[in-house]
Structure 1
């Protein structure tokens, strides 16, 4: 299955830059974990399984591979490239159906690379804010998982099912279990 969503990981979490003069050594790890947790909680399973989050790294975090998945979301550290932007551009260039691809980054270089291939680009902060408000922006409509109905436009606005549980949402306890399983315990 082809990717629907590529996120420039550190660009998305950049608004919460490192704390003060003596930052806690684990603040960046916690920010990555929070982003992954939010994606797992707010993206429908069908989208999570077609999502990659790319982070800059000269090497992956301790006890991690440079590429792995958490609850369907693929996490990739750009260890073979000078920066994450290079890997994101590579992923965009290799995409077989770029008009179905959404790229989340406020970096103009990445946005232009997406547009050149016919993909849609979203600014990081606005995209994340909308996601947390229950509005998922993608390049193509997706099917609602609870009833199989198609969604119009490029958003999924109805964020709850008849049971009151978020559509495609994953209970926090399950997300925490997956994060612990993949070495992201707090």
Structure 2
């Protein structure tokens, strides 16, 4: 999970629901919200997104946990409210620095800040979604090893992949694989590796010309 959303909090900010609406309106508005959200996020990010709703008006035909267009949808049926469920999810997250929590609720924002998760208000998140609609982010295609020899990534491709993997050091899977005692290479070590690769590349081109 990379994105944790306080569902009704964002829906209220978007103006989809008010305080005096019936269950049918809630269900229709919720479905509309989830459809638009999934479309804006795209399939990859939607798969890493969890949306939590209060259980006052859960759909009768859905369990407390379900999937909607790739996203995980939770209804706080056995909790005091959605805030409590979100707090529990934040507390249980194995790599909170990789998590973005979306809510304008102070209680949730404080819980996220304590665990050093990123926090966005509902308004800021909605503004980000709107900007994605105007300028959708393109995912670079998988590299072709044969065509990629001697080529470098464009600035947009580099920015995309740096953003995607910026939190890799915090992932527990990475730490388990690398071992905490090994640590990650320093800037000087990375620079030396890059120089070695450059030397091998130049030597390889020279040998290729000599054939």
Q: TM-score, normalised by structure 1?
A: 0.69
Aligned to 1:146: 140
Q: Is the 8 A contact 2:48 2:71 kept in 1?
A: yes
Greater CA deviation, 24-33 or 64-73? 24-33
Write out the 4+ residue segments of structure 1 that deviate beyond 4 Å after TM superposition: none
Separation in structure 2 between the aligned mates of residue 147 and residue 61 of structure 1, nearest angstrom: 38
For residues 114-136 of structure 1, give each alpha carbon's deviation from its aligned partner in whole angstroms, at most 9, with x where no partner exists: 1100101100122112212217x
Q: Report deviation, 1:19.
A: 7.8
Flag the structure with larger Rg: 2
Specify whether residues 49 and 25 from structure 1 end up closer, same or farther in structure 2 by C-alpha distance, changes over 3 A only.
closer
Specify whether residues 144 and 95 from structure 1 end up closer, same or farther in structure 2 by C-alpha distance, changes over 3 A only.
farther
Aligned to 1:85: 83
Q: Structure 1 residue 27 and structure 2 residue 25: aligned?
A: yes
The answer for unaligned runs of 5 or more in structure 2 is 143-156, 165-211
The answer for unaligned runs of 5 or more in structure 1 is 136-142, 155-186
The structure with higher relative contact order (CA 8 Å, sep 6+) is 1
Separation in structure 2 between the aligned mates of residue 42 and residue 58 of structure 1, nearest angstrom: 27
Within a 5 Å distance, the mapping from 1:1-186 to structure 2 comes to 3-15=1-13, 16=15, 17-18=17-18, 23=21, 25-58=23-56, 60-134=58-132, 145-147=139-141, 149=157, 150-151=159-160
Q: TM-score, normalised by structure 2?
A: 0.61
Q: Report deviation, 1:99.
A: 0.4
How many aligned positions are there? 143
